[in-house]
Homo-oligomer: A and B are copies of this chain.
Amino acid sequence: MLLKLIPALLLGGLSFYLSAQDSTMIRQIYDEALLRGAAYEDLRQLCKQIGPRLSGSAQAEMAVNWSYEKMKSYNFDRVTKQAITVPHWERGTTESGWFRTHDGDLTKVHLLALGGSIGTNGLLQAEVIEFKQLSDLQKAKPKDIEGKIVFLNQAMDASQIQTFKAYGACYAIRGNGAVEAGKLGAKAVLIRSLGLPQDAHPHTGSMHYENDVNKIPAAALSTNDANALSAALQKGSVQFYLEMDCRDFPDANSFNVMAEIKGSLFPDQVITIGGHLDSWDTGEGAHDDGAGVIHCLEALRILKKLGYQPKHTIRVVFFMNEENGNQGGQQYAKWVLANQENQVAALESDRGGFAPRGFNLDGPEQYLQLLQSFEPKLRSYDLHIFEKGYGGVDIGPLKAAYPGIPLFGFVPDSQRYFDYHHAPSDVFESVNKRELELGAAAIASFVYLLDLNLQP
C-alpha cells in the first residue's frame, strides 16, 4: 500500500513543483508588464508618431518601418518583412452631407464614407427612404427605391451583453447595403453607424460591391444624425445632399512584419501570435488594432526579457490589411505553407485594449481541455473566460492551410469597444494604461502555458 503510493507522491510532487514554477513565471510576467512594461509607450508611438494607417497609405508604410525598427530594437532572433499586395482606397478630401426637411430646415450631418465606396462625382441629391433592416429593403419594389437614397437605420442592440453579438447582427447593413440598394436602383446608401453610444462620431468600416450590380456611394451617419434623420422622415419627405470624392487606386505593395524567438526543442513548430497593423483612416487605430499588435509584441518582449527559452518557435506577426481585404492573413497562410512551416497554434488579439477576461478557442475539442487547464493558473489574474469561440480574422486562413490547428482569440471586456471601433474617437487616450498592460501580460502568460503544454 505504502509502496504503491510512492510514485503517486513523486508525481504529485513533480506536478506541484511544475505548478509552482508556472505560478512564479506568470507572476514575473505580470510584474514585467505592470512595473517595467513597454506596451503603453509603444502604443503611444504608433498612435501619435504614425497615426491612422490604412492599407496603401503613406502612414501604413511608416507603420511598417516603425514596426520593423521596434522589433529589431528588442533583439529577437529574427525580424522579417513579408511582401504582400494590398488594396488601396482613399477617402479623398471632400466628405459632406446635409438633409433638408419638407419645410426647408437644413442639417449638416457627421458622416464617413464606408471603406471601398466610390465617390459621388459632385453633389448628389435625392429623396431619402428609410429601412430598419436589410431584409426590409430586400422586400421593397424597385419603383419605390429607384433614384432615391436608401437609409438603413438598424440600431445595435444595447441589450446584448456581449457587444460583438450586437455588432454581428448589424454587420449586413454595412457590408451588403450598397449591393442590395444598388440592385433596386438607389442612387446611394446611408447607414446608421455601427456604434453603441448616441453621439456625433460616425463609424466607418468595410463594404463591398458585386460586379453585376450598379455601384453606388455608401456612407455611415453618426447615431445622433441617424436619429435626427429618422425623426425628420416621420414628418415628411426629406432630401439628402451628399458629396464624397473617395476612390480606389491600383493595388499597393506592403508588408506583414514579424519577429520570433526560436524554439529550443521544436524550432520547426511555430506558434503565431498577432494582430493587425493597418487601421481605418480615422482616429488613430488605438484599440483597433494598435492595442492588439502591441499586446503581442509586448508578450514576446516580456518572454525574452525573462530569459524564457520556448520549446516551440514563437512568432509575433503584425498583419497588414485586415480592415479591407485580409491580404495579410491570407498571404501569410500561403507563405508559411509554401515554406513548409509547421504551424502548431495561433493567437490573435483584435478586440481592443480593455481589461482582459480570458481566451476563446476555435479548434478541435482536445484543445478546449488544454485551454481550460490554464484556468486555475490564471484565475487570480481576473481571467475567467476559457471557452469555445472565435480566433481572429488575420489568423483565420491558417485554419484551411493547417486543418486541426487550434486558433485562440484573446477576450478583453467588450463593453466599451463599440464606443470607439472605426471612429474618430479611437485614439491613444481611449486606451487605459493598466488595461493594456494586463492584456499583454495575459497573452504572454497564455503563450507561456501553451508553449509548455502543447503536445507535439
Task: Knowing A197-B433, A413-B413, A433-B197 are in contact, say whether A161-B382 is a contact too (CB < 8 A).
Answer: yes
Q: How far is the CB of A232 from chain B (nearest CB, A)?
A: 23
In the complex, the answer to whether B196 meets A413 with C-beta atoms within 8 Å is no
Among A162, A196, A357, A382, find the residue whose CB has the most chain B CB atoms closer than 10 A. A382
Say whether A30 faces chain B, with CB atoms less than 8 Å apart.
Answer: yes
Residues of B within 8 A of A382 (CB): 161-162, 357, 413
Residues of B within 8 A of A163 (CB): 434
Say whether A248 faces chain B, with CB atoms less than 8 Å apart.
Answer: no
Nearest CB in chain B to that of A432: its residue:
B416
Residues of B within 8 A of A357 (CB): 382
Say whether A380 faces chain B, with CB atoms less than 8 Å apart.
Answer: yes
CA A357 to CA B419, docked complex, whole Å? 20
In which size bucket is the chain A interface?
20 to 34
In the complex, the answer to whether B161 meets A380 with C-beta atoms within 8 Å is yes
- Selected A-B contacts with CB under 8 Å, 10 pairs: A34-B158, A35-B158, A161-B438, A162-B382, A197-B433, A355-B415, A357-B382, A384-B384, A413-B413, A415-B438
Q: How far is the CB of A442 from chain B (nearest CB, A)?
A: 11
In the complex, the answer to whether A30 meets B159 with C-beta atoms within 8 Å is yes
Among A30, A31, A158, find the residue whose CB has the most chain B CB atoms closer than 10 A. A158
CA A365 to CA B34, docked complex, whole Å? 35
CA A35 to CA B384, docked complex, whole Å? 27
A residues near B (Cβ < 8 Å) are 30-31, 34-35, 158-159, 161-163, 196-197, 355, 357, 380-382, 384, 413, 415-416, 419, 432-435, 438
Q: How far is the CB of A215 from chain B (nearest CB, A)?
A: 36
In the complex, the answer to whether A159 meets B416 with C-beta atoms within 8 Å is no
Q: How far is the CB of A310 from chain B (nearest CB, A)?
A: 24
In the complex, the answer to whether B380 meets A413 with C-beta atoms within 8 Å is no
Q: Which residue of the partner chain, among B30, B432, B433, contacts A161 with CB atoms under 8 Å?
A: B30
Q: Which residue of the partner chain, among B196, B197, B432, contacts A419 with CB atoms under 8 Å?
A: B432
CA A435 to CA B416, docked complex, whole Å? 8
Residues of B within 8 A of A34 (CB): 158-159
Nearest CB in chain B to that of A31: its residue:
B159
Name the 3 nearest CB pairs between A and B, nearest first.
A384-B384, A34-B158, A34-B159
Q: How far is the CB of A381 from chain B (nearest CB, A)?
A: 5
Residues of B within 8 A of A162 (CB): 382
Residues of B within 8 A of A381 (CB): 161
